Structure 1
């Protein structure tokens, strides 16, 4: 015997709300994981790349604004000042932390964009996010929580099909 809601999917010529809800959920569940991963990779890479760009002089690459200034990147005086006066990380001297952050904020986002060493790159940026949250900006947990969620997704699910990781796995026997 059918239940009343299943027996009456149409109420006076209209589709019952539970049927609409089920159809909407089925439609949303068809969003490809590779699309989510691609958007996640691009978005979180942009956050860290833009931050890294504020720490250097001599090289500026911004695909969205169209700014391209090629040259030899050097750590900016402002970056050292920030790590000495505002960020003040424990155990790591500013002269080490500033260039390390500048390099990490360029290398790992680039790897994410390519989808190369994605899980490792996401883990490194998650470590940076946790450091920033715990020691630099503890009140920015809503923003850092979003970053962490994106990075954890990439760590758990990988970069998706549109990535070098996927290509390497397919062509080198990993999948």
Structure 2
């Protein structure tokens, strides 16, 4: 292996590309995690919102209807007919999915128990891919990539998890 002083400098056309690649490498992990958390939380939250009546919260579109949520008849019908899962009664599956699609995205968004919440959403993604929409692997692959990133790297510095870690002198 040559010493660093013996390595020839890059030719001119490669220098701007190398500088750009170096710049890309400086994108903070926390920014990637924050964007990933917001995006994947929105996907699952909005899906959960289609399964209930009585409560609507859509921060992006500014839609708010506060009330006591209940499982919609259309959601139950979908779990009986289209989303039929093995070993799980449709009513239970509908309730579990609806609760998970509301609780886990909030936890991911605020960065609390992020790795475990992302793991729960990854499990849901796998169930959807395997049993409900096997042809939607391009979409589910993107979800899985974001969720795996959050599981592996954590929620980043702008999160309750990071705040808790700082309070106890831990990093990551």
TM-score scaled by length of structure 1: 0.92
What's 2:93 paired with?
97
Q: Deviations over 1:84-109 (max 9, x none)?
A: 00011111110100010000000000
Task: Report the 3-state secondary structure (helix = DSSP H, G, I; strand = E; otherwise coil) of the residue aligned with 1:68.
Answer: strand
What's 1:75 paired with?
71
Give me the whole-angstrom Cα distance separating, in 2, the residues matched to 1:34 and 1:102. Answer: 29
Larger Rg: 1 or 2?
1
Q: Deviations over 1:28-56 (max 9, x none)?
A: 00000000000000000000000000000
Shift, 1:2, TM fit: 6.2
**Equivalent residue for 1:50, pick from 43, 46, 52:** 46
Instruction: Find out whether 1:61 has 2:57 as its counterpart.
Output: yes
Shift, 1:127, TM fit: 0.1
Instruction: Find out whether 1:147 has 2:143 as its counterpart.
Output: yes
What is the aligned length? 167
What's 1:25 paired with?
21
- 4+ runs deviating over 2 angstroms: 172-175
Give the unaligned 5+ runs of structure 1. Answer: 10-15
What's 1:35 paired with?
31
Instruction: Find out whether 1:124 has 2:129 as its counterpart.
Output: no
Shift, 1:173, TM fit: 3.1
**Aligned pairs for 1:158-173 within 5 A:** 158-173=154-169
Give me the whole-angstrom Cα distance separating, in 2, the residues matched to 1:35 and 1:53. Answer: 27
Give me the whole-angstrom Cα distance separating, in 1, the residues matched to 2:90 and 2:118. Answer: 24
Give me the whole-angstrom Cα distance separating, in 2, the residues matched to 1:66 and 1:17. Answer: 48
Task: Report the 3-state secondary structure (helix = DSSP H, G, I; strand = E; otherwise coil) of the residue aligned with 1:78.
Answer: helix
Q: Deviations over 1:126-151 (max 9, x none)?
A: 00000000000000000000000000
